[in-house]
Amino acid sequence: MNTRYPAIQIFFHWLSLIFIALTYLTVNLKGIGHSDGWRNLMMNCHFTLGILVFFTVIFRLILRHLYLKQIPEINPAPPTWQTKSAHYVHLSLYLIFIILPILGTLIVLNKGVALPFFGFPIIDGFNADKALSHTIKEIHETVANLGLAIIALHAAAALYHHYLLKDNTLIRMMPRKSKCATKKLDKQ
């Protein structure tokens, strides 16, 4: 019986977290510098990371499907309501982090600007429609805030399971050599 997710799923779970965290960080750092060069650098990083988030999440969905039968059970098994809640939280995270990069791309393209990836334009902008771009930006920011809230819920639930319920929910997604994972496995 598997006690952990396959290593590739664990790797891409934590990689997507890093990309998502850096995406939020870069958009918030854009206002710290007083130069246009700094703002442009942070926004280019934000766009690049958003594209990386999109493809990482898509790849994670493919992996989830391919390794569906290898998803380890939670031990001891949680109540049905928790299992269903976890399913909806995961589904929400996948949807949000697919939708956000699409919205971000539409914001840029509707400004009439090319979408950069590592500083190189990959898609040309449309005829500028700044009103539409502004509306999409409002939606993008709202969905991004919702994403942060759901990430916090997801992390809090993992910690709740680990420290209060003392089940293997968190351990299943931890890298094999992490202190958290090895201590917990030693006790079992």
pLDDT score of 121 more than 80: yes
pLDDT of residue 122: 96
- Please give the average per-residue pLDDT across 132-161, as a whole number: 98
Q: How deeply is 28 buried, as exposed, middle or buried, from its count of CB atoms within 10 A (0-12, 13-18, 19+)?
A: exposed
pLDDT score of 106 more than 80: yes
Tell me the C-alpha distance between 16 and 61, whole Å: 12
pLDDT of residue 186: 47
Q: What is the pTM of this model?
A: 0.91
- Please give the average per-residue pLDDT across 145-174, as a whole number: 97
- Give the model confidence (pLDDT) of 31-79 as tens digits: 887 789 999 999 999 999 999 999 999 999 999 999 999 999 999 999 9
- Give the model confidence (pLDDT) of 10-26 as tens digits: 999 999 999 999 999 99
Tell me the C-alpha distance between 93 and 119, whole Å: 27
